[in-house]
Structure 1
C-alpha cells in the first residue's frame, strides 16, 4: 500500500513539473509573440489595411494563447490517463495479494458460501457483505464458567454440589476467571470447600442467583464448622446481587424433639456444631460485595488468617432472636475494611477477635443485634493481641450494646489504639461498654490476670439508651488506661426505674469535653502502679 502511494505521488510530481515547464515556455512564447506582433505592427503587416494595428495585435495574441492553453490541457489529459492506468494495474495487483479476509472468504466458499458468482459478477469478485468466518478454536477472553454448563439444575431440589465443584475446578486453572451462578435459579449446595493452594490468582464468584443450604441432617455428618469455604487463595472476590440462604431456623431451636422438618422420615437430628455460612481462610486480597447472606445457622461471614480484605455494599440478615448469628467475624486478620453494609442478626454485628490489626469499619448500619464488639478475648487463659481498630460513622438501632470491648478473666496480651467515632445510637441498651469480667455462662472462675486495655478513644457519640449509658468494668490487677471521652451525649429513651447511672471500675483516662450524662466515675490520669507484664503479655 505504501509503495503504491509512493509511485502515485512520484507520477503526480512529474506531471506538475511538466505543467510548470509548459507555463514557463508559454510565458516566454507569449512575450516573444508580443514583440513579433509589435514589429509586425510597425510595418510587416502594412499590406492589411482592413484591420487597425491594435486590433490585429489583440487577435494574434488571443490565437497564440489559445493554442498554448490547448497544448497544456492535452498534456494534462495524457498524464491523468497514465495515472489512471497505473492505478488500475495497481488495483489488479492488490486483488492478487492475500489478506486475512480474502483467505477466510475462499475457505468459506468451499463450504458453499464465498464469492458472488452470479450473473454480472467476475469470478474473483468479493461481495461487500461478506464477513470473516468465525474461528472455531479461540482462547476465552472472559473465562466465564457457568455452573449450569457443568450440570447444575438450579431447581432448589436437586443437589448441585458436584456441579459447583466442577465449575470451580475449571476456573481454578485460569487466572482472572469467573464462576457464574446465574440469576433466577435456586441451587441446593451441601458443605463445599473451594480450596486454592494451586489455583490461579484473581478468581471471582459472580453470585446473582440463590444458594441454599440443605436441612437434611445426613449432609452435615457429625458437624462442620462451615458450609461454604474459600481457603488459601490469592485474589478472590464474591460479587453480584444474589443470596446465600443458610436456612438456619432449623438450627436455632434447642428443643430435644427438633428433627429435620424437610425430611421428617429421618430420625437423625442436626449436629450440635453449627456451621458458619461463608468462611475465608488463609487468603490474601479478598473482596465480598453486593450479595446478601441471610439466616445462617451460626456466623454469617468469617475471615480467619486473611489479609487485605474488603467488604462493602452487602447485606446480612437474620432475626434478632437467632442464637449466635454474628454478622461478620474477624480472627487473625489484618488490613480489613468494612463499609456501606447493613447488618441485622442475633449476635454481634461485627466481632473482632485475637490477632486482628489495622481494621477500618465505617458507614455501617447495625441492628438488631449486639452491636460491634472486640472480643471476647483471653478465654481459657489464652493470649490475645488486637491493635489499630477504627469504627466510625455507624448507626445502631435496637441493639444490646453499641461499641464493646469484652475479655475473659485469666487472659493475657493487649488491646490498644482503639477509636470509636461518630456513632449514632437509637434505643440501645448500653452504648459504651468495657467488660473485663465477661462470662457467657452462669458463673466463671475469678482470676487475677487479664488482657491489658489502653489507648481507647470515644468521640462524638450521640443518641438514646434504654438501660445504662456507660459501663467500664476493668481488671483490678490490670486497670484500663488512656481512655478518652469527647462529645458524648447519651439520653435515656424514657425515664423509668430501669435506667442506671454510668458505671466505672478501675478505669483511668480523661474527659476532653463535658458529657451527657456526666461521667464522673472515670478516674483522671493513669493508674498508680503499672501491672508487671511477662513475655506472655507482650504482643
Structure 2
C-alpha cells in the first residue's frame, strides 16, 4: 500500500472527535501519518478500531462545507477494515428542516478495486455510506443503524458505479437500506438483513428528465423485517432511458408494507400528476423464490406507464400472504407484461 492509499481525506477536519478525549479543536488540521499511518508498502495502515464522531451541533459547521466529512477520492486498491464505529451524531440535523441536512456520509469517490468491511455506521445525518464513480468495489459485514423515524438516512447509496458487491450486512435505518441510483451496472447484493427501513430500491431515477441507464442488478438471499418496501423500482414519469436485467430472488418478507413494487409514474404530487408520454423503460425483471407477509392488501403492485409499459416481467414461486390473521392480499398490475408460474396472490401480468 502506498502513501496515497493510506491517506484519509478528512473534509471538515474540525469536526473529528475521538472517544477517549476531544483531541481536536475547531482550528486543528492533522496528517494521518502523524498517528501511525505508514507508507512502506507492507504495513496494514487502513484499519479503524476506535470511534470517529461527527460534531454534535450543526452550528459547528458554520463557515465550512457541511456536505464533506470523511471521504476517499481517487484512491485505488484501498481496503478499509476494522471493528470501529463511524458515528454521524445526526439527531441535531434530523430535528431541523430536511433542507439543511448535509451528507455527512462515509464517501468513496472514484475508488477502484477497493473495499469496506467489518465496520459499524450509526446515526448519519443522511446517507451512511456513499459509493460513486467506483469500479470493482465491495462492502462486506457492515452494520448500519439509525432510528426508524430518522429522515433520509439511507444505509448505502450507489451512483455511477460498476462491479460492486454488498454482502453479509445488517442495515436498520430511516430510509432505503440500499438505494441504487443512476448509471449503475453489475451490482450484486447478497445476504443482507434490512429493517426497519424502506427496503432495497432501484431509484428514484429520471427526476431531472435525464437519460437513465441501470442494468444487471442481482439481489439474492435478503430478508426484510417490517420495512416500508421490499424489492422496489421507482422512476419519474419525465425520465428517459432504461432499467433492465434485474433479478430479485430468495427473498423473505416479514410484515412488509409493499413487498414487491414498481412505480413507473412517480411525480412530485403522489397520485395526482397527469400521465406523461415519456418514461424510463423497465424490462427483464425476475422475481423468484419469494415468500412472506404483507401488512397491506396489495402485496404485488406494478404501476407501469401506459406509454412505456413494463415488459419481460417474470414471477416464479412467489407466495405472499397477509400479516393480519384472516385477511387476504391481492396483486395489482397496470401496463405490466410478462409471465407467472406458481404465484400467490393471483397473477395479474398481461401476456
State the TM-score, normalized to the length of structure 1: 0.58
Which secondary structure state, in structure 1, belongs to the residue aligned with residue 77 of structure 2?
A: strand
Counterpart among 148, 155, 167 of residue 33 in structure 2: 167
Deviates more, 1:274-283 or 1:438-447: 438-447
Task: Check if 1:230 corresponds to 2:96.
Answer: no
1:190-219: CA deviation from partner (whole Å, max 9, x where unpaired): xxxxxxxxxxxxxx2x11100000124133
Q: Identify if the C-alpha distance between structure 1 residues 176 and 455 changes in structure 2 by more than 3 Å, giving closer, same or farther.
A: farther
Distance 2:164 2:42 in 1: 22
Deviation at 1:437, TM superposition (A): 1.4
Q: Identify if the C-alpha distance between structure 1 residues 339 and 166 changes in structure 2 by more than 3 Å, giving closer, same or farther.
A: closer
1:359-385: CA deviation from partner (whole Å, max 9, x where unpaired): 010011000000000000111201110
Counterpart among 257, 262, 286 of residue 434 in structure 1: 262
Q: Is the CA contact (8 Å cut-off) linking 1:276 and 1:301 kept in structure 2?
A: no
Structure 2 segments unaligned to the other structure (5+ residues): 8-16
Deviates more, 1:306-315 or 1:164-173: 164-173
Distance 1:455 1:523 in 2: 14
Q: Is the CA contact (8 Å cut-off) linking 2:221 and 2:249 kept in structure 1?
A: yes
Q: Identify if the C-alpha distance between structure 1 residues 167 and 321 changes in structure 2 by more than 3 Å, giving closer, same or farther.
A: same
Which secondary structure state, in structure 1, belongs to the residue aligned with residue 245 of structure 2?
A: strand
Which 4+ stretches in 1 moved above 6 angstroms? Answer: none
Distance 1:489 1:276 in 2: 40
Count of aligned residue pairs for this structure pair = 336
Which secondary structure state, in structure 2, belongs to the residue aligned with residue 339 of structure 1?
A: strand
Give the alignment of 1:290-439 within 5 angstroms: 290-439=118-267
Deviation at 1:167, TM superposition (A): 2.5
Q: Is the CA contact (8 Å cut-off) linking 1:333 and 1:355 kept in structure 2?
A: yes
- Counterpart position of 1:477: 307
Q: Of Structure 1 and Structure 2, which has the larger fraction of its residues in helix?
A: 1
Q: Identify if the C-alpha distance between structure 1 residues 448 and 153 changes in structure 2 by more than 3 Å, giving closer, same or farther.
A: closer
Q: Which of structures 1 and 2 has the bigger CA Rg?
A: 1
Give the alignment of 1:516-531 within 5 angstroms: 516-519=344-347, 521-524=348-351
Q: Identify if the C-alpha distance between structure 1 residues 426 and 171 changes in structure 2 by more than 3 Å, giving closer, same or farther.
A: same
Counterpart among 320, 323, 331 of residue 502 in structure 1: 331
Q: Identify if the C-alpha distance between structure 1 residues 315 and 173 changes in structure 2 by more than 3 Å, giving closer, same or farther.
A: same
Structure 1 segments unaligned to the other structure (5+ residues): 1-142, 146-151, 180-203, 256-269, 525-539
Structure with higher RCO (Cα < 8 A, 6+ apart): 2
Counterpart among 14, 20, 27 of residue 155 in structure 1: 20
Q: Identify if the C-alpha distance between structure 1 residues 221 and 172 changes in structure 2 by more than 3 Å, giving closer, same or farther.
A: farther
Q: Is the CA contact (8 Å cut-off) linking 2:101 and 2:125 kept in structure 1?
A: no
- Counterpart position of 2:49: 208
Give the alignment of 1:173-188 within 5 angstroms: 174-179=40-45
